[in-house]
């Protein structure tokens, strides 16, 4: 068995390359559908648990840099979600209780729901307006079949990449330059 950081980095990069190719070739429509929902929503809310939440916070930051009205669910400044808003949720299993509960509340309020998950047949997917289904291992899959990484790491890494790709596509669509986005970066850190 190989050990070492270099080997691990190459292994992770290889898994990411495989999954990105599958997403792009197997279901490009879902990527476009989520990008369209993001573009047309007056306000965007993001939710996830654990590392999925951290990955979506990165996406929220980039969408804010683009000038979108973005909120992280659970933060004290997050307002009530309303009809026409979008909730972007990430849950590998599609069963994370707090995420499913928040999605249910959002849908009842008239918001739309875009999800990133590994589980096309899940409570979260049943509520979704649009879904990006990742062929990555979920946290509880310890078979090492879908990924040699631990506890859903490939899912969370892919959420980051998909989030950055959604941002990049929307940025290109917007016609804004990097100089247009720069003033929105935090200046009191």
> Which residues does the annotation mark as catalytic?
156
CA angle 181, 16, 170 (to 5 degrees): 25
Q: Pick the closest to residue 91 from 126, 39, 61, 142 (CA basis).
A: 126
CA–CA dist 94, 78 (Å, integer): 23
Q: Pick the closest to residue 117 from 167, 49, 58 (CA basis).
A: 49
Q: Pick the closest to residue 84 from 129, 51, 122 (CA basis).
A: 129
Burial class (CB in 10 A: 0-12, 13-18, 19+), 3: exposed
Q: Which residue has the tokens 């739309």?
A: 112
φ/ψ (deg, to 5) at 90: -125, 130
Joined together, the tokens standing for residue 71 give 């909120």
């Amino acid at each position: 068995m190989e050990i070492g950081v270099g080997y691990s980095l190459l292994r992770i990069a290889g898994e990411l390359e495989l999954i990105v190719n599958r997403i792009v070739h197997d279901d490009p429509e879902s990527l476009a559908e989520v990008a369209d929902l993001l573009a047309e929503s007056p306000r965007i809310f993001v939710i996830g648990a654990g590392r999925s939440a951290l990955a979506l916070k990165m996406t929220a930051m980039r969408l804010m840099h683009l000038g979108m009205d973005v909120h992280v669910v659970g933060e004290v400044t997050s307002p009530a979600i309303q009809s026409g808003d979008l909730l972007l949720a990430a849950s590998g299993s599609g069963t994370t209780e707090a995420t499913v509960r928040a999605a249910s509340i959002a849908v009842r309020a008239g918001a739309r729901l875009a999800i990133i998950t590994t589980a096309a047949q899940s409570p979260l997917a049943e509520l979704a307006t649009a879904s990006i289904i990742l062929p990555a291992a979920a946290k509880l899959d310890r078979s090492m079949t879908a990924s040699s990484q631990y506890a859903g790491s490939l899912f969370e890494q892919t959420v980051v990449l998909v989030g950055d790709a959604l941002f990049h596509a929307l940025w290109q669509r917007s016609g804004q330059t990097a100089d247009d986005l720069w003033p929105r970066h935090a200046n009191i850190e």
